[in-house]
């Protein structure tokens, strides 16, 4: 019973931390409603496109930190259940931080795409595979200039690596599979544009008319 209650606490804390929106805070200070411009999501990639590199990086860092904090608090609540480099609590807290970021209770359940949060979670849970997966993401973006494609490849790579090194561990597989599934779901429109050849490349900013609102 105690472990169940601690698991619920780790999930709830992770979700609430994830629901805090760095993108909305940063864009509001700039006088922009980020939910009405660009791709209308609150994540770092949309802030980057609409408000530029500095504010995009601040948003990414804020989202990365909140997910890291969720993992850390989860690991403190459930320190004795371990899978590989980090524990069940870290995975649970991190997973729910991504859910909170994507569907925040404070902002009508309309959030970002969970890329920065996911990067933090995969690095915290397994630093080696996290670094490899993030490196794949950076390489794909550098080669194609598509942030969306790099983001999805990061979580796909992590899923493959975690599954291969934790064969038979269904919790670890489910954790990695859910992260990948969420990034695909949140990039549905991007996938269509990628297939049609109309996806926006990094460096293309929103039109001035899009920034109003």
Question: How sure is the predictor about 81, in pLDDT bands with cuts at 50, 70 and 90?
Answer: low
pLDDT at 1 over 80: no
Two structure tokens written together for 160: 């493959």
Check pLDDT > 50 for residue 63.
yes
d(CA 176, CA 171): 9
Instruction: Check if the beta carbon of residue 68 is closer than 8 Å to that of residue 17.
Output: no
- Between CA 108 and CA 24 the distance in angstroms is 13
What is the structure's pLDDT at 60? 94
Of 20-24, 48-52, 156-160, give the range with the top mean pLDDT.
Answer: 156-160
pLDDT tens sequence across 173-192: 999 999 999 999 999 999 99
Contact predicate 51/59, CB 8 Å: no
pLDDT, position 86: 61
pTM (global) more than 0.75: yes
Per-residue tokens: 151: 């983001």
* Range in 14-18, 81-85, 178-182 the model is least confident about: 81-85
Write out pLDDT tens, residues 137-170: 999 999 999 999 999 999 999 999 999 998 888 8
164-202 burial, b for 16+ CB within 10 Å, e for fewer? eebeeeeebeebbebbbebbeebbeebeeebeeeebbeb
């Amino acid at each position: 019973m105690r472990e169940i209650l601690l698991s619920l606490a780790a999930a709830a804390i992770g979700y609430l931390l994830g629901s805090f929106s760095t993108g909305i805070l940063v864009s509001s200070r700039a006088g922009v409603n980020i939910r009405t411009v660009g791709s209308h999501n609150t994540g770092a990639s949309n802030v980057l496109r609409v408000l530029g590199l500095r504010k995009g990086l601040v948003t990414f860092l804020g989202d990365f930190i909140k997910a890291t904090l969720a993992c850390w608090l989860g690991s403190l609540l459930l320190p004795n259940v371990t899978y590989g480099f980090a524990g069940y609590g870290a995975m649970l807290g991190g997973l729910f931080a991504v859910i909170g970021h994507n569907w925040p209770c404070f902002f009508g359940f309309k959030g970002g795409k969970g890329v920065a949060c996911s990067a933090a979670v995969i690095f915290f849970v397994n630093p080696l595979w996290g670094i490899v997966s993030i490196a794949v993401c950076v390489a794909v973006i550098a080669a194609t200039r598509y942030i969306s494609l790099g983001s999805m490849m990061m979580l796909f790579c992590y899923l493959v690596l975690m599954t291969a090194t934790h064969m038979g561990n269904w919790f670890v597989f489910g954790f990695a599979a859910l992260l990948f599934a969420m990034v695909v779901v949140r990039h549905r429109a991007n996938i269509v544009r990628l297939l049609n050849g109309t996806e926006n490349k990094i460096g293309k900013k929103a039109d001035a008319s899009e920034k109003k609102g």
